[in-house]
Each structure stands twice: as structure tokens, then as C-alpha cells.
Amino acid sequence: MTIQTIKTTPYTDQKPGTSGLRKSVKQFKKTDYLQTFVQAIFNTVEGITGSTLVLGGDGRYFNREAIQIILRMAAAAGFGKVILGQGGILSTPAASNLIRKYGAVGGIILSASHNPGGPEGDFGIKFNIRNGGPAPESLTEAIFATSQHIHEYRIAPIQPIPLDKLGHYELAGMPIEVIDPVADYMDLMESLFDFDKIAAMLQSGKFNMRFDAMHAVTGPYAQRILEERLGAPAGTVMHGQPLADFGGGHPDPNQAHAKELMSLLFARNGTIDFGAASDGDGDRNMVLGKQFFVTPSDSLAVLAANATVAPGYRSGITGIARSMPTSQAPDRVAAKLGLPCFETPTGWKFFGNLLDAGRITLCGEESFGTSSNHVREKDGLWAVLFWLNLLAEKQDSVANIVRQHWAEYGRNYYSRHDYEEIDLKAANELMAALQEQLTSLPGKTLGKRTVADADNFAYTDPVDGSVSRNQGIRILFTDGARIVFRLSGTGTQGATLRVYLESYEPDSSKHALDEQVALSDLIQIAADVARITEFTGREVADVIT
């Protein structure tokens, strides 16, 4: 079969962010836009010839069309085999597991994660490397550099592969295996958690839960594992059918977007004991108890403190890592357990070296991402199963478990305020103005707090020595409180300013305050020092989590 060589012109906007290349569907559907970026990946990644590629996505609009294009280009590039999720579906953590399990050279994951879908929504593509994790900055920068000099791409002639039928196929001499996207992942989860104990709790009739799949990729995974394997009642999984537009919703598992789940858990006389949600590609999670929200930072800390309840972690953990904007709650657990705790930039790829080197077992980000060394991605359903294992072991409520944790370690009051789709120029000016203040802030009194230090966070990887600069502006106070300012790397419209606020309270008699009340002075300090209203025109944040 003759491979076609198609002439093309480089696009200047194909620089990957923290989680690959994310653009609007309309941008991806421009002539050869997807093809140009895929060819840049194939031209950059070493060891492609004869190797295995894992391929799948979250089922959003353009997913199936993109997969057919990528299969044709993979055949032209000389891959020895493609492992493809049935229906084009693979959650991000499931893809990471497949890469590791089958020794693939890497995987292409088609997702814009928590961004909206549909014809007017977003699409995304990222490459995961041999360890199953996201490509490091050195590789994404090389892919972008290559994309700027792409003048042709190679592709096999059209030969549609039946995505929905399990089996073995061939395209231009390249084998393609369409696999059950859930089976390998479920086997992995069963090796980590006490499924018998969880099943007994779910089938007892005394414990009620809801899992909101948000019409995204985890629907099939949750239905197979929670309802079929563990015996939770039918209907436990809400919005379980993946839809190209996520049912018109925003597949971001937080209080603002999982409103139906929130209403069930916070109902005055509600009967649901445990609630959870995951996002578009299955790597994020939200955990709820009855009238109780667990922050992602606290979730990581609680799981770390109780890791040995799960069979896969019974021998203990080697260390913990968190992204810099994540609260310092996990640090306190690490200190008590005598374990190292690492503070990394935002972006899951920064955990990869630490995991591969055996320096850490658990890791997490405040943006609803938690995971461990079982894969090299954050894993939403894994976190939910970990909590179910903990609840089955403790025979206690979510709220009691977290409050007992606060009583032992103290409470890190924590919140994130997002100012979405603000003018990019104004956002950059705001950050530049903050940068100019850094040297003058230490020693100043802001409100009732004194600034101990202020910087633009830089990270030196303890494994390979690589340095990542300009990762977020921090204002650190003498009492341990923090304010962090970052521009998000996951949006596609304008800029999103994220403001992170944290204050530590060791006194258990003061642990019952509302987060926004406890952090009210820091909220005002942040608004004043960054001149948020002046630069953005916003009086309040668009999303508060």
C-alpha cells in the first residue's frame, strides 16, 4: 500500500501546555492542524519503528475522527502495533497502565480533560512516554520546535477501522488491536484494594454512595467496577454514558460543576453517605461525605496517613509529593511519618522522575488530582476506591475521618479562586506587576500578617537536575500562611488567573469555620496586592473551590 506524503504549512500556536496541546475543536479541524502536530510527535520521539503505541481518548467531539487519522499516520510512521481502546475510549490512567503493562514506546491520549466538549468546545492531544507519564518539558519543547518546521506529513490511505468491535485488524501492514478499555485497569485496581471488604460495605444496605461520571470517560469504568464487580446498587453511577459534549455539562469535578451530586450530599435529610465525581478523561476526583467536602489537599494527606489500610500499600509508603500550590497538609503527615515530602511545579509530569526513582509512593495536586506509583498519571477512580477501602476499614463517616485527621495534624484552611477568560495582556501585566514587588514585600505587614518571603517558584528536579523557573508567585507569611498566583496552562480562551490561599490552624476548637470566612483576610490581601480588580475588571472570582 502506497504511503502518501502531504505538503503542509507549520502552525505557530502548537506549543503544548502543562497537559499537552489544547485548542478549540474549530482550531483542531483546520486544514492539517492535527496532522501537523502528530507528525511533529512522530518526528521527535525516538524508537518508533516496530514499537507499540497506545491510543485512545475521553470520547469528546472529534475523538473518533482524530483516531482514524492518527492510525493512518502511525502506520506511515512505522509503528509495529497500536493498542486501541474500544470505541476510541481510554481513560488517562488506564492508558498509562497499558503503556507500562505492554511495554509501549508511549501513547497518544486525546482529551482536553476538564474543559467543555462538543463542536463549540475544546479538544486536546498529548503524548505519554514509556513510563506511562506525560512527556517532560524537554520533549514537549522539542515537539513544538519540530512543529515549527513541518512542511509535510506522511499518511496511509483511508481504511476505516471498526472502533466499536473488539478484535485484531491491520492497516497498511500495521496490526491494530481493539481492546476492552476497562479490563486491564480493573485488574490493577483489584491488586491494590480490598475488593471483598469494599463489596461487603456496598452490598450491606447500610451504606449509600453516588459516583458522578459527568457523561465522561469514567462512566464505563465506574459501572463495571462499582456496580458489576463490587455489587453497588444499579444507579450508583450517575451520568455514566460518555457523550461527545458531556451532556452539555462542564466535566470538571468540583462544587461548581457537579451541582446535582452536591445537592444529594448536602440535602438537609439526605441519605447518601459518600459521593465522588471524576472529570472528562478520568484523572481527577472530588470526594464528598454527608454535608462535607474534602479538599484535594486534605484527601492526599488523609490517604497518606492511612495508606496501609489498602493491601497495595500495606508495607508503607516511601514518600509524598505535592504540587507547589497544593496545601501543606501532606507535609505534616510526611514529617510525622519520617518520610520525604517534595514540592514540585504544577503538572503531573514533574512527579514522574520521583516515582520512577522510588522516592515517593503517593502524590497529588490541588486541582483534584491524586495518585500513586501504580501508574504515572493522576487517577480519579483510584482515589475513590482508596476512600471506599478506608471507609470500609474504619467503619466511620468521611467527616469524622477528616476531623480526626485535623485534630491530630491541625487544619490547613485552603481555597482556590479562579478568574476565568480574562484578557491575556491584562493577566500578564498583573503577573509582571507582582514580580516587580517581590524584593520589597519581605518584612511588610499586609493586613494583620507579616510577609516572611516572596518569590517566583523555581524547581530543581532532585533526580535529573533539570530546572523549571517561573512556576508561580508566592507570598509567604511568618505564621505559615501563603498566597500563590499562577496563570493556568489548561485553558483555551484568554487566561485564567488562579489565586491559592492557605492558612494553618493547629487549634481544634477553631476547625469548624467556613473556609472563605477563615481565609477572608487573605482573600482581601490577595486582591489588594495584585490589584486584581484594576487589571481584570472582576470584583470576585468566577469559580471558588
pLDDT in tens, 459-477: 999 999 999 999 999 999 9
Quote the cell numbers at residue 456.
517566583
- Please identify, among 181, 208, 223, the residue that sits at the C-terminal boundary of a domain: 181
pLDDT in tens, 51-65: 999 999 999 999 999
Quote the cell numbers at residue 316.
508503607
Residue with cell 490561599: 501
Quote the cell numbers at residue 299.
484527601
Mean pLDDT of 336-349: 95
- Per-residue confidence band for 1, with pLDDT thresholds at 50, 70 and 90: low
Together in a domain, 24 and 149:
yes
- Please identify, among 409, 426, 441, the residue that sits at the C-terminal boundary of a domain: 409
Together in a domain, 285 and 151:
no
pLDDT in tens, 518-544: 999 999 999 999 999 999 999 999 989
Residue 251 belongs to a domain with what CATH number?
A: 3.40.120.10
Residues 6+ apart with CB under 8 A from 21: 14, 15, 37, 124, 125, 126
Is residue 34 pLDDT above 80, yes or no? yes
Start-to-end Cα distance in the chain:
54
Together in a domain, 382 and 491:
no
Together in a domain, 448 and 306:
no
Quote the cell numbers at residue 307.
495508606
Together in a domain, 265 and 358:
yes
Together in a domain, 120 and 26:
yes
Is residue 242 pLDDT above 70, yes or no? yes
Together in a domain, 529 and 498:
yes
The backbone torsions φ and ψ at residue 126, rounded to the nearest 5 degrees and listed phi first, read: -145, 155
Is residue 171 pLDDT above 60, yes or no? yes
Report the distance separating Cα 428 and Cα 421, nearest Å.
Answer: 13
Q: Which of 113, 327, 371, 503 is catalytic?
A: 113
Our count of domains for the chain comes to 3
User: What's the pLDDT score for residue 490?
Assistant: 57
What rounded mean pLDDT belongs to the chain?
Answer: 96
- Per-residue confidence band for 494, with pLDDT thresholds at 50, 70 and 90: confident
367 is catalytic: no
Is residue 379 pLDDT above 70, yes or no? yes
Mean pLDDT of 360-388: 97
Together in a domain, 421 and 405:
no
pLDDT in tens, 127-168: 999 999 999 989 999 999 999 999 999 999 999 999 999 999
What single string gives the DSSP state of each residue in 34-96? HHHHHHHHHHHSS--TT-EEEEEE---TTHHHHHHHHHHHHHHHT-SEEEEEEEEE--HHHHH
Together in a domain, 161 and 195:
no
Return the percentage of the chain with pLDDT > 70, whole number: 99
Together in a domain, 173 and 314:
no
- Please identify, among 181, 202, 224, the residue that sits at the C-terminal boundary of a domain: 181
| Positive/negative CA dihedral, 444, 446, 451, 456 | negative
User: What's the pLDDT score for residue 492?
Assistant: 59
Together in a domain, 156 and 208:
no
Together in a domain, 163 and 139:
yes
pTM of the model: 0.95
User: What's the pLDDT score for residue 216?
Assistant: 97
Domain of residue 271 covers 184-409
Residue 519 belongs to a domain with what CATH number?
A: 3.30.310.50
Is residue 489 pLDDT above 70, yes or no? no
